[in-house]
Structure 1
Amino acid sequence: MRATLAAFGTPGRTAADKSPVTAEDLLELEHELGERLSALSASIWTAKEEIARAWRNSPERKAILADWEAQQEAIRRNNSDSSRWAGKRTVDTPPIHPIRSLAL
């Protein structure tokens, strides 16, 4: 390591001193990258909007929603059928008190 430093190193100089890149170069690069990032951000936003619009109008989404609505209707129908039996005990057993049933 010392031999490498002795052969290639220059005392008192840093890597920044050896670089041909200037502060103006960095400012120009920052400005160019800022413009590119802004364009990329706008493209991503547009793509997200197009994807969301395509999903909202897709047959797959409509099928999923129709299936969900059918399930909800079946649940409502089942609940209304079971509500006819609410309060009617078919076996002569005392009602279960929720707090007391936990103590068992």
Structure 2
Amino acid sequence: MLKLSLKQGQYVNIGDDIRVVYVGGSGNHARLLIDAPRELNIARSTTEENPARKRETYYAEPGISREAQQEIKRILWNERMKAEAKKDAESLKDKFNS
């Protein structure tokens, strides 16, 4: 058994396709996000003698396509370039107005 201490936002990968993210907590309660393949059943464990009766299953969101990932990267890059150009223009304006 592995015991870990995580800060908010930190995560643990289990194998290639399971990620457990610590999103916060207080006292004796912790909130976790678990991203796993849809075909993997994830059940919350309690003191219930018959765990099948108390099964709460999480299904991961389907991944986005490679094309969509590239489009998101392109959009973010363009927004960053616009922000830098605006900052540079303001810097030049301030320089000439001084």
Larger RCO: 1 or 2 (CA < 8 Å, sep 6+):
2
* TM-score, with structure 1 as normaliser: 0.38
Q: Which has the higher helix share?
A: 1
Rg larger for = 1
* TM-score, with structure 2 as normaliser: 0.40
Q: Which has the higher strand share?
A: 2
